[in-house]
Structure 1
């Protein structure tokens, strides 16, 4: 995205319980207010967390305190809906649970001023796929529909 990329809303619908062990979303309190309407987006690069393709590289988490001083862990139950502005600083750790999923449905809604640079978008998608291959060793429950369906009888999800 190019122009208008800082005017977006992300929704995240929890299909499974999400907590600090299996990688719930963590927000930095007040971070959206400090940059909305400001100049360019913070510098991003690829993350090492499967399912979260990028991370901020020019943000000092020590000033927010990874000890939680300004961070809020957004734990969620199945059916909970989390919403945040695109400028809200957020993160999620990889799933450290040996037995629980962290499945969710996410969507991003961009403002009418947003537009796509097709060349940059295509290049980024190729790079995401290439780097995803490097993350295949991470513990994940599944990203294939057939395995997800195998677990449906024990859940409240039809």
Structure 2
């Protein structure tokens, strides 16, 4: 039983940017050179939300109507530095400014002994969170437009 970290990103991003999986791989590989990089950052899985919730170690209580709206970048046991997450969200906002992105720290337990993952109803500011101190099993959504930087 251990905690894992992932981002829920709008599936629309993959429709707009057809080469998103390849660009994400390049981006994470290039980021390895940064002093902010943590072990395992370039090891992630890009899944549809419906695939993510069907994994044996994920206990989910999410509405089925959002399954087609989100994909998951699952970093597993790696909890990226907040600056790295902010850079990723800025990159995503340049692709699709109108969506929302979710941050999730969840229990990984094949016996599913812990509360199911649910969407948080609380209002939060992104800057209040670090990946490793997120509350467990709650997805916190933030509008991508707050990460859009103008030139």
Greater share of residues in helix: 2
Structure whose alpha-carbon radius of gyration is higher:
1
TM over 0.5: no
Give TM-score scaled by structure 1 length. Answer: 0.28
Give the structure, 1 or 2, with the largest relative contact order (CA under 8 Å, sep 6 or more).
1
Give TM-score scaled by structure 2 length. Answer: 0.29
